[in-house]
């Protein structure tokens, strides 16, 4: 897996101050995407053990709320496989910090057998995610008054409540500014 950028103090992509990893590779290629360079799976730098250590160190301060994964798309199968061991380390090292993930794929696409991008690690990775922002960016539905998403079709899903209830539970962040 490759990544395009790491932000160590991000306040735009999730609750509080977060460490953000922008992975490379996206097959959705949404019209109007704010960083189309990340569609290329080889864009940026290789994700290495040193990268993981940098991220783990950046997550250490108490004022950091957690890790955000976006891209590209962290739920492309090759990215899921690379991210799973790392996200497990994050949860083991910092159990109280939250994991946010942004994906152009919907929750339904991620959880329905036989659909891209679902793979053998999808369920395990989703089980580690606290908030999932799902759905492709739709330029015609762009709305700058939305919090943590770009178009009105995208949802902010509370994954803990969703797992507990057995149906999709939207986060309180599904409102306008």
For the chain, what percent of residues have pLDDT higher than 90? 90
Q: CB 166: neighbour CB atoms within 10 A?
A: 7
Check whether 96 has a pLDDT greater than 80.
Answer: yes
pLDDT beyond 90 at 33: no
- Tell me whether the omega of the peptide bond preceding residue 117 falls within 30 degrees of 0, making it cis: yes
The model's pTM? 0.95
Question: Is 156 exposed, middle or buried (CB count within 10 Å of its CB: 0-12, 13-18, 19+)?
Answer: buried
Structure confidence by residue, pLDDT tens digits, 7-28: 999 999 999 999 999 999 999 9
91 contact partners, CB below 8 Å, separation of at least 6:
99, 128
Of the candidates 144, 147, 136, which has an alpha carbon nearest to the alpha carbon of residue 173?
A: 147
CATH class of 2-165: alpha beta
Q: Categorize the per-residue pLDDT at 109 as very low, low, confident or very high, splitting at 50, 70 and 90.
A: very high
Cβ proximity of 157 and 107 under 8 Å:
yes
Q: For residue 177, name the pLDDT band (cuts at 50, 70, 90).
A: low
31: pLDDT confidence band, cut at 50, 70 and 90? confident
What does the domain layout of the chain look like in residue ranges? 2-165
What is the reported pLDDT for 30? 85
Cα distance between residue 143 and residue 120, in whole Å: 35
């Amino acid at each position: 897996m490759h990544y395009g950028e790491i932000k160590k103090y991000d306040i735009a992509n999730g609750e509080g101050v977060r460490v953000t990893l922008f992975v490379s590779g996206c097959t959705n290629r949404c019209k109007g995407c704010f960083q189309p360079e990340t569609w290329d799976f080889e864009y940026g730098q290789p994700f290495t053990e040193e990268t993981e250590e940098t991220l783990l160190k950046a997550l250490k301060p108490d004022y950091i709320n957690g890790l955000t994964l976006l891209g590209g798309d962290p739920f492309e199968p090759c990215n899921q496989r690379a991210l799973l061991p790392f996200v497990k380390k994050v949860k083991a090292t910092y159990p109280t910090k939250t994991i946010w993930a942004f994906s152009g794929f919907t929750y339904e696409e991620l959880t329905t057998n036989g659909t891209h991008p679902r793979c053998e690690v999808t369920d395990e990775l989703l089980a580690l995610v606290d908030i999932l922002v799902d759905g492709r960016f739709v330029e015609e539905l762009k709305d700058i008054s939305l919090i943590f998403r770009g178009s009105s079709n995208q949802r902010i899903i509370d994954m803990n409540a969703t797992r507990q209830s057995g149906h999709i539970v939207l986060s309180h962040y599904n409102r306008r500014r």
